[in-house]
Structure 1
Amino acid sequence: MNIRISTSLAAIAAVLVCPPLSTVALAKSAPAAAQQADQDPETSPDPVQSEDDINEIVVYGARLIGRVDAPQPPILELDQEDIAAYGAGSIAELIEALGPQVSSGRGRGSSGQPVILVNGVRIGSFRELRSYPPEAIERTEIYSEEVAQSFGYSPDQRVVNIILKDKYSSRELELEYGQPFDGGYSTQQVEGTYLRIDGPSRLNVNVEWDNSSSLTEGERGVEQSIGSHPIIATDPDPANFRSLVSDSAGVEATVNWNTALGDSGNQLSLNGTYERNDSLSLQGLDSVVLEDPSGNTALRSFNPADPLAVDRRTNSYSIGSTFNAGFEGWQVTGTLDGTYSDTRSRTQLSLDTTALMDAALAGDLALDADLGEFAEAGFDETQSESWSLSALATARGSVIELPAGDVQMTLDAGYDWNAIESIDTRNPGVLTDLSRNQFSTGVNVSIPITSRDYEFGGAIGDVTLNLNGGIDELSDFGTLFDWSAGLTWGVFDGITLSATYIARDSAPTLSQLGSPEIVTPNVATFDIANNETVLATVITGGNPDLPAQSQNDWKLGLNWELPFIDRGSFQIEYFNNHSENVTDGFPVLTSAIEAAFPDRIERDTNGQLTQLDQRFVTFAEQDVERLRFGLNLNGQFGGGEEATGGRQGRGGGDAASAGRQGGDQSGRPAGARDPERLAAMRAQFCESEPDALLAQFNAALRAEANGEAAPTGPDGEPLSIPGRMLQRLTGEDGKIDPERFATMRERICSSDPAQLARGPGERAPGAGAQARGDRQGGGGQRGGGGRGLARLSGGSDGPPTGRWFLNVQYELELENSVLIAPGIDRLDLLEGDALSGGGQPRHSINWRSGVFYDGYGLLLFARYTGESNIAGSGLPGSTDLMFHNYATVNIRSFIDLGKRDKLVAAAPFFENTRIGFDIDNIFDTRQRVTDSNGDTPLRYQPFLIDPTGRSFEIEFRKLF
């Protein structure tokens, strides 16, 4: 074993304890070369002096700078043309369009949102690039959850790596208008974006405004639920004073700046964002019953001009930064992100019936009087402020060289501070003040066990062991631990198996602990015990008594890169999650839930539900098992022979095709030696000035990454170094490592020229080298700057090339059960019990497909949700609920007017202009919910489930 410690752990620890502001990553180098097959066993393995390297005659493109170096292959890769086929207006829209392909099936994490990397390294916040136009992307890679650990994240989110173009500039204006086909309300959005990318320097400014008008239940004919009192004919219709869609508006402004720091290769990015959101929701009309001294009663409604309403405003201020630096062979990344938010909520109170009754008894109030003149309802107001600050430093590098490759290590250390303060008028003088300090540290180690490329145990494939451990010290919960172990097995080319076990402790968030208590009146709530929908008072907010949660998860996965279609893949994933002390929102009110939480429900003397406390609760245990199947297909059509020829392999271009046939472009057998080429390579290494040759090698890397022609050597002749050897000289910063370069130069120049020219028949035979040549030729360097892609992106004057894609994901829920507390029967969410507002379906399918040709795009997104049910108590008056299966289909279409030559010639304004037209829920489908009698409860009326239904949106987008 050859130990190569790049730097002292003490030095790395010092960097982690004092984390920089943030980081933008450069590329990691390719693994060291395989050991020489017939090397003297007493000689130390030489990672750069491989006969295959020296004699390889096909020059493959260097790996695209910014790619992720991981044992797991990408689940999905998108080049520029693939991205254009989605018709997205920003990177945020692209991530949304990818949908389940970028979300985790583990059921943990931030609502399934992925980890976002830029050029192969983590960033402080997605705010840094969410407004970038997709045209700025060179390539996008999507990886499984296990890859997140090597960047300091927990393995509950998929990884999306965005590789940006080296040069790009645009100014963008986007206008959107949408509304339901049934009318009633509309949405509007205006967005302006500026972006300039000049190598490591980037500047982005984005301003966005959006607005939505309101929609009431009266406009959709919603039948009203039972209130506290009957409605008399003289009262206005309360449906006109209840919101289905709130009146809302928001504005966002953000600035992102990235720059290189001198000539060191270090990079710094800064981000600042302001957001404001306002919403107004109507909760109906207030009503009271007054009784005069004679015993007569009459109902009076509050002034319709001032209905019950909830008015909210949130202001948010965020800053973030990323610093990236190379440190003695390690890639060190520091991120800093901070946010301050203030939220104010005003809920109009009901009339003071006591004061009104006193006035009536005193004879001061006539039954037909305006009640607002005698009692001021007032407002219940809550105010909350929250602060968050997160700093994290990670260091990634190689620490030990094993026979199967380098051991990769990631060290991380971080600090998080969160605080929340809230007050409300229901508890005057009481200030909720919570804060948390959290220190964390962790290590992730990726250990190659066997490798076909290194000809060590390659008969069983490529096996990598991944170990991860972390400690979190929380000021309010003490010490929490997490660890995981995973195994990745590349059985054959294109088939990868993985297994991961995760054990971790997690604390509830401060919002779950200390969000202000908000009381909302007149909320339509279904009472399954009485089979009725009532208008109840609902309480929401935090719960300070929540404990820490324990999680133990298994994940087994298979990834198959389909051999019969370019870049097609199929995945199978199995998830098994076990949790204890689970924090969750208050579940749907069933008989079992009411029995478990009797203090959360209030009923009147008639048994009618009047109040429901929905603050967070804790369940003793939850067990979930599911299977997820994913199919990703994409391809091209048209464009002639030149376009299709360039798509051979996975980014390898024509060279890839030659490699699969066992030969190079000249027709030589794979592994054959070219004495003239070898002599030229030796002459360049040994006769050229080392510094000049080193500079030319770096220029070759940059040219390959940008799709440019390779430069010549110092002697004016083309560079003769094989592409794979050039990769193995590449350091952590994406440049040629001087030490590796010096070692290779010394070995080549001190070797016997006759040995370099030795033919394949004069070496020990071995299928490993031949297999490796076929493997690299057939696939190229995955997605790495193939010349064929350059032809597809506009280098050919032939007919246009069309693109198509199909992504399907199917989920099968095998088990989902909850134990509320010891001594209570376990709830089976697949067999009639429930936590959420609906049952848990066993089956769900997501379908995403599209076609793009000559500036025209058509996409079809569909989702199927299987049936489920919630069982009643079986007592008189109770009912079962059946949630029927349903499917929704959305269509997105767009046309690039800039590709219509005649139109642009007549009106140059339409250059770089796109118009889109979308239809959501094209069949106007809503889930159908019925009770035991086959009737639909009022709470589950179709328009209450989905008030929008079929809708359209028109988009105008212009790049300047």
Structure 2
Amino acid sequence: MLAIDALAQPSIVQAAPATGQTPPIGQGPATAPDAPAVLPEVVVTGSRRPKSLEGAQALDELSEGRISTYGAGSINEVIERLQQQQGGREFSIIVNGRRIGSLADLGELPAEALKGIEIYTPADAKRFGFSADKRLLNLTLKRDFRSLSLEDEVRAATEGAGTVVQGELRGVVLNGDRRLNGFARAQADEGLLARQRPGAANGDQPVPPGQSLLPRRQSYYATLGAGRPLGAGNLDLGLRGARTQNLRQTNGTTQQESLGGSSSINASYNNTVAGFQVTAIADVGRSDSRSRILAGDAAAGCTQCRLAQDLRTATINAGLTARAGGTVATLPAGEMRIDLSAQRNRARTTATDRLNDTVLRTGYATTSAQANVSLPIVAGSTPVLGFLGTVELMPSIDYNAIDGRGHVIGTNVSLSWRPSSALFVNASISRRGSLPSNEQINAPVQTLIGFTVYDYRAGALVPIEQITGGAPLAPQASLGINVSANYDRTIGKVQLNGNLGFSRDAVERPTVSLTEPSAFAERYFPDRFRRDAAGRLVSVDVRPFNAVRQVEESVTTALNLSGGGRGESTLNWNIGIQGQRQLRRSLRLGPDIPVIDTLTNPLSISTGVQGRQRWSGQLGLRTRRFGGNVSVSRSGGIRSTSVADPTNGVDVAPLVRVDGNLLMTLQSPGAAGGGGGRGGRWGGYRLELSIRNLTNARPRIRASARSTGRDRPSSIPGCSIRWAAPWRCRCAYRSAGEPTPDVPDPALPAVDHLR
């Protein structure tokens, strides 16, 4: 049987005879029944392009076989691979040519459920009400697909730390526009104690061996999704639930147990009414948490423990969103489009202090609305100015309010210019207001143990307690300027993508938190840091507050090349390099406090150090059977000087990190079982080996004083090399499974540095 896979192409029909009648395929003309022509059976499978995408030219199209070379286990992971290949830029996403309420449920579908992927320009994203600064990704699902897969993964470290075990179960049934899918994940993490990191010290004293550096953790997550046509539109439903348990201890005498859970249900309906795309979304959810601290001998089962903290928090929230967008007028330069949205959310939080028998109830309700207009100014057919290409103006206004706390109004004006099909330039200026969240305002005050921060007085990492909770915060106001240029071109079989961008963001009343002490912070905020009689740091109050002003400026650049064949057996590859340089980052914490240059004096040494420059690069090679990826990242070092005493400082060395993974398919999908029936095809088996931090890179801090020559190096305790060799197996009626490569984000300067 000859199969032709055609995308948005007409069916192939044999020429009709002179009589004008079209004979069945495989038979000769009706005028010669005694000598029929022997022709192979031709089956044409085509995916009709949605009307909303008619006239749009895709930048790239990924077939089912090409998608399989990405080695992804879910649709979410396919999108992550594409983002990495495209320089880390995010996409606007539609499914089967329509905008959906949420990708949360669909993203967990197996990658094999995809029939194809099309990538369109940011200009095409506006047809669906998206902004014009992100490219559009159209995910086309198979019409008839069933799959059930089981994935298991084990991770360990070469230098201490506990084993992480994770299992996933994923199933889906697709029948036309009807969908039913489920996903479940369970994970257990043994945590990390100080005896597994001998270098941790509290000043000159070693950290007690029973001190938790990372908690023991168990987590569970499940989601159930469904979709079906309803009238002329489509209804999508999602049900999600999660549960986590963390356990920390301090030298085996004090332990903290944190329990948390959440559940939610959401429904979205999409339809086209009088040429407008209309979406309605409703969601209801509940979350709860409990934090208990027991003081006593944990090794003895805590039979003599006393309860030092017992807090419970429960929040019920509900929301309703309506969105509509479409063409309202046809101008000489193109179609004028307007997009409107409105949202209402309510939350009710109950915090119970079981130790002191007190109950606090708080409410939180917000209203928001937004209007965007796409106004074409110049087109290629415009007289005189047509040589400029396409120019479009996109103004917008948004309104946000919290009941009883006031409101903010923001505006944004964006100008897009496309001088050619390959080059796209976008510039925008925005004045926006940001309201504090329910958690930032109403979270109960509580103490958390087992955190490690850098203490400038000790010149080392020290374990402390954190005081967390909500605070009365004012709205933020920001002025942002963004300019970006993107270049996309296909040269032969090579896809070239490059981008260059500049951004400046000035925020009035920014929300900040002090996570560790410095001579500067402790001088102006002494009540945030508590020390014992010997001067050792005991606790840090990390509750948020409003500073005065924060300014950030940066330049980003990226260049990516990708190529290969369109089939599943050919080699696909990608090479990419991305860079960011911070031009400015300053913060004024209070009206009478000097401005801090947080590039040279970060508020947090162990978590906030980024350096002025960050570079990363990736190389990926993939076929249906073999695949590999290598990523390298480098963040620049800094010297942080004390504002109170410029002769003292802290040096943080540059961080170079190398990560890689190899994967091999031991059995191709459909190779076992045979039979060809719906129940006779089984999935494949794949082995994956991932190594993180191959160069043993970890943030290294050296405290020094120029006058005394003091030189005390301190290495943030963390694992150097990880391996992950998961086996994965999928049983599928129509498709088989692929594993999930463990690719870290190379843009982060110190990922999981405590492991």
- Evaluate the alpha carbon distance shift between residue 388 and residue 174 of structure 1 in structure 2; reply closer, same or farther with a 3 A threshold: same
Using the alignment, how far apart are the partners of 2:190 and 2:263 within structure 1?
Answer: 25
Query: Which residue of 818, 824, 827 corresponds with 2:593?
Result: 824
Which whole-Å deviations, capped at 9, do the CAs of 1:465-503 have from their partners, x for residues lacking one?
A: 111112123204222112111111111221111101121
Matched, 1:275 2:252: no
Query: Which residue of 373, 376, 380 corresponds with 1:448?
Result: 376
Matched, 1:87 2:71: yes
Query: Which residue of 872, 876, 896 corresponds with 2:642?
Result: 872
Using the alignment, how far apart are the partners of 1:91 and 1:429 within structure 2?
Answer: 47
Using the alignment, how far apart are the partners of 1:257 and 1:214 within structure 2?
Answer: 36
Q: Which residue is equivalent to 2:8?
A: none
After superposition, residues 324-403 of structure 1 pair within 5 angstroms as 324-349=270-295, 377-403=306-332
Q: Which residue is equivalent to 2:633?
A: 863
Using the alignment, how far apart are the partners of 2:262 and 2:433 within structure 1?
Answer: 30
2:104 aligned counterpart, secondary structure: helix
Matched, 1:247 2:193: no
Using the alignment, how far apart are the partners of 1:863 and 1:510 within structure 2?
Answer: 36
Q: Is the CA contact 1:537–1:611 (under 8 Å) kept in the aligned structure 2?
A: yes
Using the alignment, how far apart are the partners of 1:169 and 1:839 within structure 2?
Answer: 47
Q: Which residue is equivalent to 2:164?
A: 187
TM-score for both structures, normalised by structure 1: 0.64
Cα deviation, residue 626, structure 1: 0.7
Cα deviation, residue 337, structure 1: 2.4
Cα deviation, residue 571, structure 1: 0.7
1:89 aligned counterpart, secondary structure: coil
Partner amino acid, structure 1, of 2:318: L
Partner amino acid, structure 2, of 1:557: S
Q: Is the CA contact 1:461–1:490 (under 8 Å) kept in the aligned structure 2?
A: yes
- Evaluate the alpha carbon distance shift between residue 495 and residue 157 of structure 1 in structure 2; reply closer, same or farther with a 3 A threshold: closer
- Evaluate the alpha carbon distance shift between residue 425 and residue 114 of structure 1 in structure 2; reply closer, same or farther with a 3 A threshold: farther
1:880 aligned counterpart, secondary structure: strand
Cα deviation, residue 258, structure 1: 0.3
Cα deviation, residue 425, structure 1: 5.1
Matched, 1:585 2:552: no
1:511 aligned counterpart, secondary structure: helix
Using the alignment, how far apart are the partners of 1:927 and 1:70 within structure 2?
Answer: 52
In structure 1, stretches of 5+ residues that fail to align are 1-60, 106-112, 232-236, 286-306, 352-369, 638-791, 795-799
Cα deviation, residue 608, structure 1: 3.9
Q: Which residue is equivalent to 1:719?
A: none
Using the alignment, how far apart are the partners of 1:513 and 1:62 within structure 2?
Answer: 50
Matched, 1:517 2:445: yes
Task: Give the number of aligned pairs.
Answer: 675
Cα deviation, residue 602, structure 1: 2.6
Partner amino acid, structure 2, of 1:576: R
Bigger mean CA deviation after superposition, 478-487 or 375-384: 375-384
- Evaluate the alpha carbon distance shift between residue 847 and residue 534 of structure 1 in structure 2; reply closer, same or farther with a 3 A threshold: closer
Using the alignment, how far apart are the partners of 2:198 and 2:476 within structure 1?
Answer: 44
Which whole-Å deviations, capped at 9, do the CAs of 1:619-671 have from their partners, x for residues lacking one?
A: 1111111111122211115xxxxxxxxxxxxxxxxxxxxxxxxxxxxxxxxxx
Cα deviation, residue 272, structure 1: 0.6
Using the alignment, how far apart are the partners of 2:663 and 2:256 within structure 1?
Answer: 38
Cα deviation, residue 532, structure 1: 5.2
Bigger mean CA deviation after superposition, 573-582 or 168-177: 168-177
Cα deviation, residue 118, structure 1: 2.8
- Evaluate the alpha carbon distance shift between residue 612 and residue 130 of structure 1 in structure 2; reply closer, same or farther with a 3 A threshold: same
- Evaluate the alpha carbon distance shift between residue 77 and residue 873 of structure 1 in structure 2; reply closer, same or farther with a 3 A threshold: farther
After superposition, residues 655-674 of structure 1 pair within 5 angstroms as none
- Evaluate the alpha carbon distance shift between residue 455 and residue 137 of structure 1 in structure 2; reply closer, same or farther with a 3 A threshold: farther
Q: Which residue is equivalent to 1:547?
A: 474
Using the alignment, how far apart are the partners of 1:808 and 1:75 within structure 2?
Answer: 21
Q: Which residue is equivalent to 1:238?
A: 208
Q: Decide which structure has the larger Cα Rg and report it.
A: 1
Matched, 1:130 2:114: no
Q: Is the CA contact 2:698–2:715 (under 8 Å) kept in the aligned structure 1?
A: no
1:94 aligned counterpart, secondary structure: helix
Q: Is the CA contact 2:367–2:401 (under 8 Å) kept in the aligned structure 1?
A: yes
- Evaluate the alpha carbon distance shift between residue 223 and residue 858 of structure 1 in structure 2; reply closer, same or farther with a 3 A threshold: closer
Partner amino acid, structure 2, of 1:552: L
- Evaluate the alpha carbon distance shift between residue 173 and residue 627 of structure 1 in structure 2; reply closer, same or farther with a 3 A threshold: same
Q: Which has the higher strand share?
A: 2
After superposition, residues 573-612 of structure 1 pair within 5 angstroms as 573-612=501-540
Q: Which residue is equivalent to 2:549?
A: 621
Cα deviation, residue 199, structure 1: 2.5
Which whole-Å deviations, capped at 9, do the CAs of 1:735-779 have from their partners, x for residues lacking one?
A: xxxxxxxxxxxxxxxxxxxxxxxxxxxxxxxxxxxxxxxxxxxxx
Cα deviation, residue 601, structure 1: 2.2
Matched, 1:917 2:689: yes
Cα deviation, residue 185, structure 1: 1.7
Q: Which residue is equivalent to 2:611?
A: 841
TM-score for both structures, normalised by structure 2: 0.81
Query: Which residue of 165, 182, 188 corresponds with 1:211?
Result: 188
2:72 aligned counterpart, secondary structure: coil
Partner amino acid, structure 1, of 2:491: F
Q: Is the CA contact 2:622–2:628 (under 8 Å) kept in the aligned structure 1?
A: yes
Using the alignment, how far apart are the partners of 1:471 and 1:280 within structure 2?
Answer: 42
- Evaluate the alpha carbon distance shift between residue 835 and residue 147 of structure 1 in structure 2; reply closer, same or farther with a 3 A threshold: farther
Q: Which residue is equivalent to 1:421?
A: 350
Using the alignment, how far apart are the partners of 1:379 and 1:147 within structure 2?
Answer: 58
Q: Which residue is equivalent to 2:14?
A: none
- Evaluate the alpha carbon distance shift between residue 570 and residue 470 of structure 1 in structure 2; reply closer, same or farther with a 3 A threshold: same
1:458 aligned counterpart, secondary structure: helix
Partner amino acid, structure 2, of 1:555: N
Q: Which residue is equivalent to 2:399?
A: 471
After superposition, residues 447-846 of structure 1 pair within 5 angstroms as 447-452=375-380, 457-521=385-449, 523-529=451-457, 531=459, 533-543=461-471, 545-562=472-489, 564=491, 566-636=494-564, 792-793=566-567, 800-835=569-604, 837-846=607-616
Using the alignment, how far apart are the partners of 1:152 and 1:401 within structure 2?
Answer: 17
Q: Which residue is equivalent to 2:153?
A: 176
Using the alignment, how far apart are the partners of 2:629 and 2:664 within structure 1?
Answer: 12
Cα deviation, residue 132, structure 1: 0.8
Cα deviation, residue 562, structure 1: 3.2
- Evaluate the alpha carbon distance shift between residue 74 and residue 871 of structure 1 in structure 2; reply closer, same or farther with a 3 A threshold: farther
2:202 aligned counterpart, secondary structure: coil
Query: Which residue of 646, 665, 677 corresponds with 1:896?
Result: 665
Using the alignment, how far apart are the partners of 2:342 and 2:669 within structure 1?
Answer: 54
Using the alignment, how far apart are the partners of 1:954 and 1:514 within structure 2?
Answer: 42
In structure 2, stretches of 5+ residues that fail to align are 1-45, 675-679, 733-755
- Evaluate the alpha carbon distance shift between residue 456 and residue 913 of structure 1 in structure 2; reply closer, same or farther with a 3 A threshold: farther
Cα deviation, residue 550, structure 1: 0.5
Partner amino acid, structure 1, of 2:260: T
Using the alignment, how far apart are the partners of 2:423 and 2:533 within structure 1?
Answer: 65
Using the alignment, how far apart are the partners of 1:584 and 1:158 within structure 2?
Answer: 32
- Evaluate the alpha carbon distance shift between residue 117 and residue 910 of structure 1 in structure 2; reply closer, same or farther with a 3 A threshold: closer
Using the alignment, how far apart are the partners of 1:164 and 1:593 within structure 2?
Answer: 54
Q: Is the CA contact 2:378–2:391 (under 8 Å) kept in the aligned structure 1?
A: yes
Larger RCO (CA under 8 A, 6+ residues apart):
1
Using the alignment, how far apart are the partners of 2:413 and 2:101 within structure 1?
Answer: 27
Q: Is the CA contact 1:104–1:145 (under 8 Å) kept in the aligned structure 2?
A: no
1:512 aligned counterpart, secondary structure: helix
Cα deviation, residue 159, structure 1: 6.6
Q: Is the CA contact 1:283–1:523 (under 8 Å) kept in the aligned structure 2?
A: no
